[in-house]
Structure 1
Amino acid sequence: MEQQITETGTKEELSPNFALKPGKMRVMKRNGKVVAFDREKIKVAIMKAFLAVEGSSAAASTRIHDQVEQLTDDVVSVFERRMPSGGSLHIEDIQDQVELQLMRNEHQQVARSYVLYREERKNQRNEEQLKRETTSQKSEESSNNEASEGFEGKVRKACEGLVDVNPEELIEAIKATAYEGISEEDLSNCILIAARTFVEKEPNYSFVTARLLLDDIENEVLRFLDIDTSIKKDRSKMYQKALVGSIEKGIELEFLDERLKDFDLDRLGKSIKPENDLNFTFLGLQTLYDRYFITHEDTRYEMPQVFLMRVAMGLSVDEKDKNDKAEEFYKLLSSFDYMSSTPTLFNSGTRRPQLSSCYLTTVPDDLSGIYGAIHDNAMLSKWAGGLGNDWTNVRALGSRIKGTNGKSQGIVPFLKVSNDTAVAVNQGGKRKGAFCAYLECWHLDVEEFLELRKNTGDDRRRTHDMNTANWIPDLFMKRLMKNEEWTLFSPSDAPELHDLYGKAFEKKYEEYEKLAASGEIKLFKKIKAEDLWRKILTMLFETGHPWITFKDPCNIRSPQGHVGTVHSSNLCTEITLNTNKDEIAVCNLGSINLPQHIHDGKINVEQLKSSVKTAIRMLDNVIDINYYPVPQAENSNKKHRPIGLGMMGFQDALYKLNIPYNTDEAVNFADESMELISYFAIQASAELAEERGTYESYAGSLWDQGIFPLDSIKILAEERGADFIDQNTDAKLDWKKVRDQVKKHGMRNSNVMAIAPTATIANITGVSPCIEPTYQNLYVKSNLSGEFTVINPYLVEELKKEQLWDDVMIADLKYSQGSLANINRVPENIKNMFQTAFEVEPKFIVESASRRQKWIDQAQSLNLYISNVDGKKLDNTYKMAWYKGLKTTYYLRAIGATSTEMATVDTGSLNAVETNREENMAASQAPKACSILDPDCEACQ
């Protein structure tokens, strides 16, 4: 324990004759140097002793942590009593006292371990040094002869070029779990299982595990394609053969498009970059293996770079210079500078290339129309991602049915059928079906709609598997601010409200209120706006639904207001497109990987420009290549050509820039980065319009009028009232050039930008999802590919610099749910930099989103994190979101005061809030809100 007590903390060293100030204690090391007395080092040493005896189960145990704290206090108090005026202690004195306190408190086994450790440590260090020297020589000799050493050579090769990984330690762990006569398949699984357990100690083991998995993938693919595995020695040649083989096999099995044979496969094979395989983390590669690579009878016949090349080929199949474009698209995808959405990755280059991410529909108010919409949902869910359904048109409970002279049962029974459709049709067996029902808050059924996700009440009127969202007009928010009344109507009595917004909505709504007051409308209900708002927030807190989205900014700032109304958003609340009975809106998504464009402490503007330009072309190609499950979707998509370019890795970019999320500097970076993406995206669409022509409904759009997203904020302020909006409108770039381009050439796409959650594609590229703050610095992530230890590599790097990264720090992070807040020995600047999502003040999340929103022509999937939640915090946060001009919000991630301190104490789980969400949230009174880390939320990513 000597090393831990004397050499893992402060760097302050003093001469033996240093004059000590009264009241301060110093510690003399064996080499004669004197360092400052540090309580945390004693605590670390004692914790190590407990971990040595009780194992990792002690990591998240309140009992162990309490005992360690008490023992540390006991040791420190002894020396404070002995030397009240300060003085020098020898390291042996401290270690003796630790041993004594362990014995006095009857921790005999821990004390014995501690004594043995002290005696053996010196010899152990010498042995380890000799072993390292031997290992280094052995690794060098064996790396070129992997086959001769079996799995040991494979492990050593996987560790090459990575710092702080120990192949010999990993080999020993594998040997401990393997057995004589083990099959090749079981040995491969054994190797991966052993390797992934090391990730929590060193993030680079994630790359080691990925490389080990890659070796298995290559063997599987080569054997299926009947290619000699010895070709792996020349990875470039291997990939050339694998590309040809995979494409031919895919066409033979009638899965891939025959047009892929029209490409120059030899040329494309030579352009593949095998070295980019080394950029995958284990989570990323395992996700691809489980869910993305094409298979035949559970056998994969795609390697990672072949997969990305196949996607690039599929997106360039209609290009005149298809080989050039395939190489350009592949280069962008393979570098991780940009990644297409999951449906595009799934289906690009296939015989039925359903590449779009989400669909938005409006449900009509007649029986055949309702069931027609449910049928469309089923067809779309079979092939596509998430669905957003606008149900506001459907008449309310108690409304008269003219044809039968009966009364309507309202929307809830039909929502139940829609819910069950989502369960029954699960996206071709790849992912769960995912629907979101939207309802405007003037609808007479809104109060029952709010309770759809409750676990109590009549289960026939509950939708446990379907998401819900409120579509809230500005008039309601203004009535709320003024503490006024609100009136609920059936759309059968107030049909115009569905298509109106802004001042026109307010005028018509007030007319209907007068008709209700005079008795001309019989079916209505008066309610205080505050009471309805309270119920909205209560249900949001208790069930995670309905999400809060705002009708007016979505419509007033929409470029397409001249041809229709935005009636809802999509499953993930980032798409704001018009829908009607003839048009099902389609969103085509992809995301810029922001940290890939950060170099030397700033954004590489030219690289970003190039990435955005290529990405916009890829997204525009999706529209023409796409397979449309229903005709209304094709009609809408080809008429308006909307796309949604977003971003991911915002938190990683902040780390690279050394900017804490919880600061004004981060808000300014959100503004700056989104302005650049917006600038280049609009420019790229205008350039495509010059080459390919404008979209069909361009005339009369805001683009056509010279009104850009930034300009539309002024229109929103005029419609809403200047007192009800506070949104920054500053700009740094010279927009004249882009405005001139749009004026001259028009736009290829009606909508260009939207920030999706990117849950899965962020996993693939190894960055944080979209604009999210760090969830936890250490946790276990569960998705459809299994459970993965996720650790913040930026944090580990900083803690290593401070000599603070060790087993005790890992244990403390587990105990603290990945938070540094209560780990005293961590410097404040590191704590501030690596605050977790619940430690970031909601105002910074909202303000950053507001800054981005001014540049975006659609919306953004914005999760809100609130710790120590109460009604006032919820009220203030969501009012602030509206006041700051946000169009939508997504999941509420809230945690109560009782669970903020510790929610995984009893289970010992790193992430019990995720893996046992219902039990833990019931105990802590936190909401059962679906996590962005949950596979349910990956529907359109």
Structure 2
Amino acid sequence: MQSTAVRSSTRTINAAEQAKVSVTIAYQGIEVIRRNQAVVVFQPEKIGIAITKAFLAVSGPQGQTSARIREQVAHLTSSVVDVLSRRFPGGGTVHIEDIQDQVELALMRSGAHDVARAYVLYREQRAAQRLMETPPRVGVDIAPLMVSDDGQRLPLDNTFWLELCREACAGLTDVDAEQVWTLTLQNLYDGIPLSTVGQALVLAARTLIEREPDYAKVAARLLLNNLRKEVLGVTLKQIQMTECYADSFCEFISAGVAAELLDSRLLEFDLPRLGQVLNAERDLQFDYLGLQTLYDRYFLHIDDRRIELPQCFFMRVAMGLALHEIDREARAIEFYHLLSSFDFMCSTPTLFNSGTRHPQLSSCYLTTVSDDLEDIYQGIKENALLQKYAGGLGNDWTPVRALGSRIKGTNGHSQGVIPFLKVVNDTAVAVNQGGKRKGAVCAYLENWHLDFEEFLDLRKNTGDERRRTHDMNTAAWISDLFMQRVQNNGLWTLFSPVDVPDLHEKFGPAFEAAYCDYEARAGRGEIKLHKQISAVQLWRKMLTMLFETGHPWLTFKDACNLRSPQQHAGVIHSSNLCTEITLNTSTDETAVCNLGSVNLPAHLIERDGVWQLDETKLQHTISTAMRMLDNVIDINFYATPKARKANLRHRPLGLGMMGFADCLQRMGLAYASDAAVTFADCSAELLCYFAYWASSELAEQRGRYSSFAGSLWQQGILPLDSLDRLAEARSGRLEMDRSTSLDWDKLRQRIMQVGMRNSNCVAIAPTATIANIVGVSASIEPIYQNIYVKSNLSGEFTVVNAALVSELKRLDLWDEVMIADLKYFDGSLAAIDRIPDSIKARYATAFEIDAEWLIEAAARRQKWIDQSQSLNLYVAEASGKKLDSLYVLAWLRGLKTTYYLRTLGATAMEKTAAESSEAVGLACAITNPDCEVCQ
């Protein structure tokens, strides 16, 4: 143990160095624990020196002058510092070995495997050298570590902390409290703050997750102890929490109201009654990623001190959603049980803001921008207002005239739509959703717009930066006529909207007739500003840009409109940020959608050895969830009058699902199989059937939505029936399964008789964040990797497929060699010979599954869904031919929208940290940058 004098002298650096350090990292407050337990100021430049030495060990002395190496070193150093900054946003201590692990990770991520190997060998040589210089002392007791607590120096209570570790491990298999405490001791030093000891416990547990997934729960429970100490001022055992929740809930609500964070109406609830309901055992459901995400971004805080515990958080959200209910307490309790059991989870904006003084609970906003300068900037202003409280935006820019169009008022010529999109991009960066995450927006443009070719280039890394938008998304709004022209190798004409104003408001056969008439007029010279190109050429450029930049996403205008229940109320001009919302917009209405997702694995039940969905439980969950989502509409804070008008008039909802891949694994089904496609069909049918039924029940109780008359619902045309309209408009170019298993006639008659409360009910969002909270796979996605490191705003988290580990344990295959193999082969099982082929098929990762299976499963869902689904496509070896066949298949199968195209060449990669002797076997794993605004 180092004396205080030694530690103090170690911290001392000269004034010049101090000034340099303060400029670089003063905002971080990070300190480094050296191997001798001394604590020193973190100096990023030392990372750069170490990485440079590793590069020179490979390249030789001549590499010293290489600009490329200097650039790589600077980038890698920055990435390591960024990781540490995210892990310790308020400052903290990190062991030097952990920093070196991060350096290895960064080198492997960059593909510099030879350099990483050199770095690993250097670390091993230094370790051996230290061992020779300072051999271990045998038989010498290590003096007890001391901690600082409110200025007092106290002996470290080993018994107390070890007991916390044991409680965290209780009820879990293959976890060891003593091992967690032993690892923790390595990161402690003389004078360490008491709170930092708790953090060290969490960090120790999380390093073990890759070897045993249940350590994710251990880390979560240790984090829970820290949270309880922060909120309550004392560390309580789990057995004490039931009484504590009941006693402290009133105080929490009162404190939140007094701090002007919570709506004062929450004080009108019977708080003692609600406090008695809080179930402390449900705190134990969390994995580390889920609880850390809530801690960092969701729990309310005053002066950076959290004031709510998990069950208080769920009850606060439930109370906010029950404000207008007649029996508020009963409904709040009902909503609380649904959320806290993880059977259903509201979207992120609802979790952020429910029960607060600014209850902006809706997830998505869709707008149409008019061809008028004042309206354009009004639209940009509305973007900022909607983003301020965590809304994701889809902007329809098609009406804005193209480059070169005449402006009557000035007798000049328009600069087109592109310069305005640059302003939209910069607005999204500036308005960062209350500091919780960056603003997010997607611009949509129909592909007959004369600026469309330049629109395709917006995300390129070359060209005029004034005409590039690197921080926003783009999507193409594609007609069936264009797809037919591509199929027939025909020509395609681009127009300025000012010359063809009604095209924007037409779809299906009406669009085709008007478009062909405009082409004829252009051919006669009546429309001067136009351009005719090969439809195939434009399609190829769209696919090329999609591959190179990930944009624009491809979405299908006619499938969205011809199947819309609300055709009588207007035209759908775009989707939203995540391509699952399809609602009509106009200059008078901003479409709004309110999202939440059912946790499918929580509704699986085993009967006679066969896993299946529990229909009774699923119906109950959906019925309650639909009520919660419908309540959002009346409680919601609306940043603009147009949003309020549209939401109250149409009352659309977007109920979705998550954990689809987890269900397949539990059922023993491979994603790439007919059985999985069948499960996609039946699960979506149940979801939609119960959602539409629940909306009809709400209509009986509360009344129909005001624009119900004239809708497809009123005509007895359900989403399944609307396929006939799409097939007719396409002259039969629709290949979609039409089988059913439920009594849709009964539901059809019911809806025609009692109506619907909501114009739309179902949309499958990405669930990127709420799936982390619940601890299931995101949305309808296949698994990304079986072991990887996930990066998000809360830091970096090792994620291991617990279901796979369980199977490998059953076969006695889970050992250190298997862990190393999984890392080496990027989380894939394909090349690991000793794993049976049946398991390889069931646990195939996203890029190992032919994307056609994703489309087939999505098509089965789409026949039931009244809106759409966020569908990512994964292509390991992309080619023009492959992309063409995939997206044509998506169109032929009647999909309304697609989302990201992910390719191995363009996807960000992560690697999980390993011990130094294994570092050259670090495995790549896919990050999932899905939209976190929706979910």
TM-score by length of 1: 0.81
1:789 aligned partner: 798
Cα distance in 1, alignment partners of residues 900 and 350 from structure 2: 25
Amino acid of the residue matched to residue 677 of structure 1? Answer: L
Long gaps (5+) in structure 2: 1-99, 115-120, 129-155
Alignment partner, residue 893 of structure 1:
902
Give CA deviations for 1:54-86 in whole Å, capped at 9, x if unaligned.
999999989xxx99xxxxxxxxxxxxxxxxxxx
Partner of 1:489: 495
- The reply on whether 1:641 has 2:675 as its aligned counterpart is no
Contact 1:152 1:171 in 2 (8 A): yes
Task: Give the aligned partner of residue 269 of structure 1.
Answer: 275
- 1:261-320 CA distance string (max 9 Å, x none): 111111111111110111000000000000000011111000001000000000001000
Among 727, 735, 757, the alignment partner of 1:748 is 757
- For residues 496-516 of structure 1, give each alpha carbon's deviation from its aligned partner in whole angstroms, at most 9, with x where no partner exists: 100100000000000000000
**By how many angstroms is 1:673 displaced?**
0.4
Q: Is the partner of 2:597 in helix, strand or coil?
A: strand
- Cα 1:222–1:909 change in 2 (3 A) is farther
Alpha-carbon separation, structure 1, partners of 2:398 and 2:921: 43
Number of aligned residue pairs = 791
Q: Which residue of 1 aligns with 2:30?
A: none
Is 1:612–1:684's contact at 8 Å kept on the other side of the alignment?
yes
2:371 corresponding residue in structure 1: 365
User: What is the CA distance between 1:446 and its match in structure 2?
Assistant: 0.2
Alignment of 1:793-872 (within 5 A): 793-872=802-881
> Is the Cα contact below 8 Å between 1:242 and 1:306 reproduced in 2?
no
SS in 2 for 1:775: coil
- Unpaired runs of 5+ residues, structure 1, are 1-53, 68-105, 114-145, 915-930
Question: C-alpha distance in 2, partners of 1:799/1:257?
Answer: 50
Distance 1:170 1:215 in 2: 15
Tell me which of 166, 189, 204 is aligned to 2:176: 166
Counterpart position of 2:555: 549
Q: Which residue of 2 aligns with 1:667?
A: 677
What does residue 933 of structure 2 align with?
A: 939
Question: How far did residue 560 of structure 1 move?
Answer: 0.4
Pair 1:61–1:436, CA change in 2 (3 A)? closer
Which position in structure 2 is the counterpart of 1:771?
Answer: 780
Matched, 1:602 2:612: yes
- For the pair shown, which has the larger CA radius of gyration, 1 or 2? 1
Note closer, same or farther for the CA distance 1:794–1:631 as it changes in structure 2 (3 Å cut).
Answer: same
Determine whether 1:191 maps to 2:197: no
The equivalent position to 1:152 in structure 2, one of 159, 162, 172, is 162
- Secondary structure of the structure 1 residue equivalent to 2:366: strand
CA contact (8 A) 1:815 1:904 kept: no
2:420 to 406, 414, 419: 414
Q: What is the rounded CA distance, in whole Å, between the counterparts of 1:652 and 1:873 in structure 2? A: 28
**Paired amino acid for 2:468:** R
Q: Residues 779 and 910 of structure 1 are in contact (CA less than 8 Å); yes or no, is this contact kept in structure 2? A: no
Taking structure 1 as reference, are residues 419 and 820 closer, same or farther at Cα in structure 2, changes over 3 Å only? Answer: same
- Distance change (3 Å), C-alpha of 1:672 and 1:425: same
| Inter-partner Cα distance in structure 2 for 1:511 and 1:500 | 13
| 1:242 CA displacement | 2.4
Shift of 1:166: 1.1
Distance 2:101 2:389 in 1: 47
**CA distance in structure 2 between the partners assigned to 1:679 and 1:899 by the alignment:** 38
Q: Name whichever of 417-426 and 172-181 sits farther off.
A: 172-181
Structure 2 Cα separation of the partners of residues 402 and 258 of structure 1 = 53
Structure 1 match to 2:340: 334
Residue 735 of structure 1: which of 740, 744, 757 is its match? 744
SS where residue 421 of structure 1 aligns? helix
Q: Distance in 1 between matches of 2:361 and 2:504?
A: 30
Please tell me the residue identity of whatever aligns with 2:517: E
Aligned partners of 1:605 and 1:792: how far apart in 2? 27
Query: How much has 1:420 moved relative to structure 2?
Result: 0.5
Q: Describe the SS at the equivalent of 1:709.
A: coil
Asked if the contact 1:648/1:771 (under 8 Å) is kept, the reply is yes
- Whether contact under 8 Å (2:225, 2:235) holds in the other structure is no
CA displacement at 1:240 relative to structure 2: 1.1
How far 1:202 moved relative to its partner? 0.3
Q: CA deviation at 1:492?
A: 0.3
Q: CA deviation at 1:751?
A: 0.2
Q: Secondary structure of 1:164's match?
A: coil
Q: 2:668 and 2:755 mapped to 1: Cα distance?
A: 40
* Contact 1:358–1:384 (8 Å) recurs in 2: no
Q: Partners of 1:55 and 1:748 in 2: how far apart?
A: 55
* Equivalent in the alignment of 1:15: none
Contact kept? 2:790, 2:910, Cα under 8 Å? no
* Shift, 1:901, TM fit: 15
Find the aligned partners of 2:787 and 2:417 in 1 and give their Cα distance: 43
1:688 counterpart letter in structure 2: L
Partner of 1:615: 625
Corresponding residue for 2:5? none
Partner of 1:721: 731
Secondary structure of residue in 1 paired with 2:192: coil
Query: How big is each residue's C-alpha offset from its partner over 1:152-209, in whole Å with a ceiling of 9 and x where there is no partner?
Result: 1111110011000011111111112212332112211211111100000000000000
CA contact (8 A) 1:231 1:238 kept: no
What's the RMSD between the two structures over aligned residues? Answer: 2.6
Q: Distance in 2 between matches of 1:897 and 1:542?
A: 7
Instruction: Check the 8 A contact 1:362/1:581 in 2, yes or no.
Output: yes
Distance in structure 2 (CA, Å) of the matches to 1:204 and 1:903: 17
1:711 alignment partner in structure 2? 721
Kindly state the Cα deviation for residue 350 of structure 1 after the two structures are TM-superposed. 0.6
> For the residues of structure 2 that align with 1:939 and 1:253, how far apart are their CA atoms?
26
**What SS does the aligned partner of 2:827 have?**
coil
- Which of 373, 398, 403 matches 1:397? 403
Aligned residue for 1:354?
360
Whole-Å separation in 2 of the counterparts to 1:903 and 1:327: 41
Q: CA deviation at 1:896?
A: 4.6
TM (norm. structure 2) is 0.82
Partner AA of 2:404 in structure 1: G
Letter aligned with residue 546 of structure 2? L
Q: Which runs of 4+ in 1 moved over 3 A?
A: 54-62, 228-233, 896-914
Letter in 1 for 2:823: K
Deviation at 1:734, TM superposition (A): 1.2
Q: Distance in 2 between matches of 1:838 and 1:61?
A: 20
* Partner residue, 2:222: 212
